[in-house]
Amino acid sequence: MIVSDTVYLDPSRDQLAPAVRKSCEELRWILSHVTFVPNDILEVRRAVLNLARDHDLVLVCGGTGPGTWDVTIEAVKPLLEKELPGFGEYLRARSLQEVGVRALLSRSIAGLVGTALVTCVPGSPSAVELVLREVLPELLPHVRELVTGLKEWELGQYLLVPRDRLSPRELELLYRVTYSAASRYGCAATFSGFVKRYSRGRLVREFRVELDLRELEKQVQSLVRERKCFVVLGISTGTLRPGDPITYIGVVAETRDVAFGTARELLEFLKSRCRHVEVLEEQT
């Protein structure tokens, strides 16, 4: 994204897009498209938000200086959910070697908008080339790992969480872990089971679950090895009340059929092996 009044009015004056395109080809990155935006806070902000929805990286070039019409930082900084101050510090330190104290006029910043890395750099070919050749090739993959959680959770592994009673907070975390892994592989199937309020026409006062956890873990281990999937499974094994969660099943796989098929198989396994005792209110 190139922020410049003159280039917006006359795209033939652009000198940055060819350099970006060449660097992306060398890195084997896919350059989705080049956008020209005038020096206008609302225009810059709207463009960044639109691009961040569907891209891993938004490279904003220009408008980072202290000039009257340099408004890129004012537009982008409020959008950053997590700022990476070291990015601008590094660029200014590197530029000091080449242009001297004039490097301090740059207000380059970077941070996350959703899961996209947004970087704001000066609108000079040398600055853009420095970022694409020296900084982003190492920075972007690591940012993707941290944002998606892939460094910890890979296909072929599982997370089994037995509790006397799964809490709403733990249920939320199990769901988050599932979709953190799914952000790379794209296919997730989930199931949540809760204690019913009524059974056989009477109010459930108490619900107890009995299960051989070692047998359950062996089944999960077998499935993740065979299906090359990632399983997140939470199970309550204590005394429960109406509305309490009994189980959470999350499966991440490379295909939808594997994800849903594995989740269904785990659910059937629990139904066949899990013994439950209902204590009902007396009928009046």
Residue 251 · residue 231 · CB < 8 Å: yes
Give the percent of the chain with pLDDT over 90.
63
In a domain, 153, yes or no: no
Residue 152, pLDDT > 50, answer no
Q: Which residues pair with 249 in a beta bridge?
A: 191, 233
Query: 174 and 141 share a domain?
Result: no
Query: 162 and 138 share a domain?
Result: no
In a domain, 253, yes or no: yes
Query: 136 and 246 share a domain?
Result: no
Query: 9 and 137 share a domain?
Result: yes
In a domain, 198, yes or no: yes
17 Cβ contact partners less than 8 Å away, ≥ 6 residues apart? 2, 34
Q: What's the pLDDT tens digit per position in 65-74?
A: 999 999 999 9
Average pLDDT, integer, range 77-82: 95
Domain boundary among 129, 148, 167: 148
> Where are the alpha helices (H) located in 191-276, listed in sequence order?
213-227, 256-273
273 pLDDT tier (thresholds 50, 70, 90): confident
Query: 81 and 7 share a domain?
Result: yes
Domain boundary among 148, 174, 208: 148
Q: What's the pLDDT tens digit per position in 18-40?
A: 989 999 999 999 999 899 999 99
Nearest to 255 by CA among 187, 209, 197: 187
Domain boundary among 148, 170, 187: 148
Query: 84 and 173 share a domain?
Result: no
Q: Which CATH number do you get for residue 276?
A: 3.90.1170.40
The Cα 48–Cα 113 span in angstroms is: 9
Query: 74 and 103 share a domain?
Result: yes
Query: 13 and 139 share a domain?
Result: yes
Query: 176 and 195 share a domain?
Result: yes
Query: 64 and 197 share a domain?
Result: no
Query: 7 and 144 share a domain?
Result: yes
**Mean pLDDT across the chain:** 89
Domain that holds residue 89: 2-148
What's the whole-model pTM score? 0.63
